[in-house]
Chain A
Amino acid sequence: MSAKTETIFKILKVFSWIVFIGLSIKAGALIFNYIFAWFNPAATHNLYDGLDLSALYQSNEIYYQSILSLLIILSISKAHVFYLIIQIQSKLNLVKPFSEGVSELILKISYSTFFIGILGWFTREFSRWLEKRGYELGSVGGYWEDYQAFFMMAGIIFIIAQIFKKGLELQNENDLTV
């Protein structure tokens, strides 16, 4: 592996850790405030980074719980994807890149991103449905507006996973060619 590639890998590793920690903090803060708001409804004014669901909480608590649960699942899923990326980086061996473990992780990332896309789309539709019925959701849209990107990512990663599987077969065959 060249020095340049090694440096890029190190930078990517640090970057992935930063994103993973950031997303975990976000998911953790949402979970904490979700529980905290049960005892102190005033917390619904600022659940995380200006997320204000107090109007929805006051008008319909079930819808508030549903939206917040979806946001929490979305945040956890995004953090999970970056956790898988970190795992890939620690398992990847560029001398023999094709391994069963990495292949499985790539496929898992593909499924996870697809799940995030589906969940993002569902949450968007649900919030639109709520807004049509006059419920106020504030600036919550930022949590799922990237769902199309996740669909595209899932598709691309799935193709990469299939290519990787083929690569694994070829590598095994090459290893067993005398």
Chain B
Amino acid sequence: MPIIVNLDVMMAKRKMSLNELSEKVDITLSNLSILKTGKAKAIRFSTLESICSALDCQPGDILEFRTEE
């Protein structure tokens, strides 16, 4: 998929574990894992807002567009 989720990169930068993020944004571990592994088909604005708030970043830091080769 051309949209890449860089959640793991941002989590590493903020030194935050998946469990910690899950507690902060109130999203289940399985849903966060779906997002992290790039299996998600869509993301709600509310989810994006909570993740950005928890990781203190911009949506562009988490989502990236890459052209397919």
Contacts of B11-69 to chain A: CB distance below 8 A? 27, 31-32, 34-35, 39-44, 47
User: Count the B residues whose beta carbon is within 8 Å of the partner chain — how many?
Assistant: 12
Contacts of A129-178 to chain B: CB distance below 8 A? 172-173, 176-178
Q: Among B27, B32, B41, B47, which residue has its beta carbon within 8 angstroms of that of A176?
A: B41
CB atoms of A176 and B44 under 8 A apart:
no
Q: Main SS of the interface on chain A?
A: mixed
Question: Nearest-CB distance from B1 to chain A (Å)?
Answer: 12
- Tell me the complex Cα distance, A173–B31, Å: 13
- Tell me the complex Cα distance, A172–B41, Å: 9
Residue of A whose beta carbon sits closest to that of B32: A178
Q: Among B32, B35, B41, B44, which residue has its beta carbon within 8 angstroms of that of A173?
A: B41
Residue of A whose beta carbon sits closest to that of B27: A178
Question: Nearest-CB distance from A178 to chain B (Å)?
Answer: 5
Q: Chain A residues near B47 (CB, 8 Å)?
A: 178
Q: Chain B residues near A176 (CB, 8 Å)?
A: 34, 39-42
- Tell me the complex Cα distance, A25–B39, Å: 50
Residue of B whose beta carbon sits closest to that of A173: B41
Q: Chain B residues near A172 (CB, 8 Å)?
A: 41
Most chain B CB within a 10 A radius of its CB, from A172, A173, A177 = A177
Residues of B within 8 A of A (CB): 27, 31-32, 34-35, 39-44, 47
* Sample of 23 A–B contacts (CB below 8 Å): A172-B41, A173-B41, A173-B42, A176-B34, A176-B39, A176-B40, A176-B41, A176-B42, A177-B40, A177-B41, A177-B42, A177-B43, A177-B44, A178-B27, A178-B31, A178-B32, A178-B34, A178-B35, A178-B40, A178-B42, A178-B43, A178-B44, A178-B47
Q: Top 6 nearest A-B pairs by Cβ distance?
A: A176-B41, A177-B42, A178-B35, A178-B31, A178-B40, A173-B41
New contact pairs (4) apart from A173-B41, A176-B34, A176-B41, CB-CB < 8 Å: A173-B42, A176-B39, A176-B42, A178-B35
